[in-house]
């Protein structure tokens, strides 16, 4: 097993933006904002955020803001909560939250809360517990959590809990590690983790570790590097991370690196992408891999960034 090839990953991240020559790279332009967050958060965790020009990024982000206050995935696209959180997170990485009209963004988000406490992803009304997390995390970063009905928001998330201790998209939906991260993260930020049955959920989560050391997101699925983040951060938030084998997971993630050209893939030998590169590095950060910045498991931002937001006026 090798070590984390930091320099190659930095080079890979910087090269992703320039690739416009394949259908696969161009066809995801509608979620470029998420891509920016994955790439830039990775650079920051690796301690290399200064490798690119922040002004250029910030200028582009602000061009993606819609008059409603929400952000789109790219210029000219419709806004959505998914991209709004990524935009705010990237601005936080650069310590540039001050370029935002926080109230305007917060009003966009609070306007998407429904009567039952749930959140729609955008004006078209799809409801998902993921959107509850996006809303709560974003408002927390903006110091605007008072703009929503928190009690109802928390109760809605609690209503998505299943008999196995996990959480689904809506009440009665199947448990999924990604949804669990969102629900546990939102409950952690709002100080409502008492709604989680920690032993029961911890049990389900640690059963996600398969023989190779990797984690899957649901029973019977193959392991995938991205669950190193979703499962691991949830286990940390509910204080059950000692129920999995951390060394085996570190090895699994490192085995998914492209040691020649940089980048991390879902499983060993697969093609790399920026999404899995971020979740691999973020997972290693949670596992306290040497040389990486520590990451906050609820806000999905480096701990120094979170400290700056909450302890510096």
Partner 1 sequence: MREESMILKGNSLSLLNEFELILESDPLIDEVGFIHPSQFVTLNKEASSSLEHEDANFWSRDHKLAISTDVLLPLYKAVKDVFMHAISQYKSHENLSDASWDEGNLESEVMKHSKALLLLSCDFGTAWNFRKLIVSKKQHMLIFLDELFLSALVLSCSPKSEKAWCHRRWVIKMLAGKCSTMQVIVGKESELVEKIAERSKMNYRAWNHRCWLVSYMTTEQVLHELKKSRNWAGLHVADNSCFHYRTRLMLRIREDHCHKLEDGTSDGNDEIYRIWQEELDWNEALIKCYVGREALWLHRRFLSLSWIRHFTTNVGDTSNYRVCKSSINADIGVFMDNELHLANSCSTIPDNEFEDFQAQAIYSATYILWLTKQISDSQGIELQEKPNLGSLRTMLNTACPERSSLWDISTRISGKCDEGLKENRYQRR
Closer to partner 1 by CB, 174 or 288: give it.
Answer: 174
Q: Give the footprint of partner 1 on residues 255-294 (CB under 8 A).
A: none
Total binding residues toward partner 1, as defined by CB under 8 A: 43
Residue the block writes with tokens 């928390």: 154
Closer to partner 1 by CB, 202 or 302: give it.
Answer: 202
Among 44, 122, 224, 273, indicate the residue that binds partner 1 (CB under 8 A).
122
Q: What angle do CA 75, 104, 123 make, to 5 degrees?
A: 65
Q: What angle do CA 140, 17, 72 make, to 5 degrees?
A: 40
Among residues 205, 213, 226, the alpha carbon closest in space to that of 280 is found at 226
Question: Is there binding between residue 66 and partner 1 (CB under 8 A)?
Answer: no
Q: From 22-30, 133-141, 147-155, 187-195, give the range in contact with partner 1 by CB under 8 A.
A: 22-30
Q: How many CA atoms lie within 13 A of 8 on its CB side?
A: 13
Question: Is there binding between residue 200 and partner 1 (CB under 8 A)?
Answer: yes
Closer to partner 1 by CB, 26 or 271: give it.
Answer: 26
Question: Is there binding between residue 199 and partner 1 (CB under 8 A)?
Answer: yes
The CA distances from residue 93 to 148, 174, 258, in Å, are 25, 33, 26
User: What angle separates helix 150-159 from helix 129-141, to the nearest 10 degrees?
Assistant: 150
Q: Give the footprint of partner 1 on residues 137-176 (CB under 8 A).
A: 163-164, 168-170, 172-176
- Distance from C-alpha of 245 to C-alpha of 262, rounded to nearest angstrom: 26
Name the site residues for partner 1 (rule: CB under 8 A): 21-23, 26-27, 30-31, 72-73, 76-78, 80, 122, 124-126, 163-164, 168-170, 172-176, 199-200, 202-203, 206-207, 209, 218-221, 242-245, 248
């Amino acid at each position: 097993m090798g070590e984390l090839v930091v320099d190659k990953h930095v080079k890979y991240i910087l090269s992703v933006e320039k690739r416009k020559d394949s259908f696969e790279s161009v066809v995801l332009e509608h979620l470029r904002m998420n891509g920016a967050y994955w790439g830039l958060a990775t650079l920051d965790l690796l301690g290399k955020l200064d490798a690119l020009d922040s002004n250029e990024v910030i200028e582009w982000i602000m061009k993606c803001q819609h008059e409603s206050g929400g952000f789109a995935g790219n210029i000219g696209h419709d806004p959505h909560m998914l991209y709004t959180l990524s935009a705010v997170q990237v601005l936080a990485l650069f310590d540039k939250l001050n370029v935002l009209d926080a109230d305007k963004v917060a009003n966009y988000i609070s306007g998407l809360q429904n009567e039952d406490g749930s959140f729609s992803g955008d004006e078209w009304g799809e409801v998902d517990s993921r959107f509850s997390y996006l809303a709560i995390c974003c408002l927390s970063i903006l110091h605007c959590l008072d703009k929503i009905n928190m009690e109802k928001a928390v109760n809605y998330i609690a209503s998505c809990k299943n008999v196995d201790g996990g959480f689904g998209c809506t009440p009665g939906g199947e448990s999924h590690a990604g949804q669990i991260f969102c629900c546990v993260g939102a409950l952690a930020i709002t100080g409502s983790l008492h709604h989680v049955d920690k032993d029961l959920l911890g049990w389900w989560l640690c059963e996600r570790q398969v023989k190779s050391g990797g984690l899957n997101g649901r029973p019977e699925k193959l392991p995938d590097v991205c669950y190193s983040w979703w499962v691991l951060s949830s286990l940390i938030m509910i204080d059950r991370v000692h129920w999995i084998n951390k060394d085996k997971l570190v090895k699994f993630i490192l085995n998914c690196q492209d040691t020649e050209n940089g980048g991390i893939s879902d499983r060993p030998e697969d093609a790399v992408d920026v999404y899995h590169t971020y979740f691999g590095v973020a997972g290693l950060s949670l596992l306290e891999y040497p040389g990486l910045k520590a990451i906050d498991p609820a806000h999905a931002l480096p701990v120094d960034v979170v400290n700056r937001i909450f302890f510096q006026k």
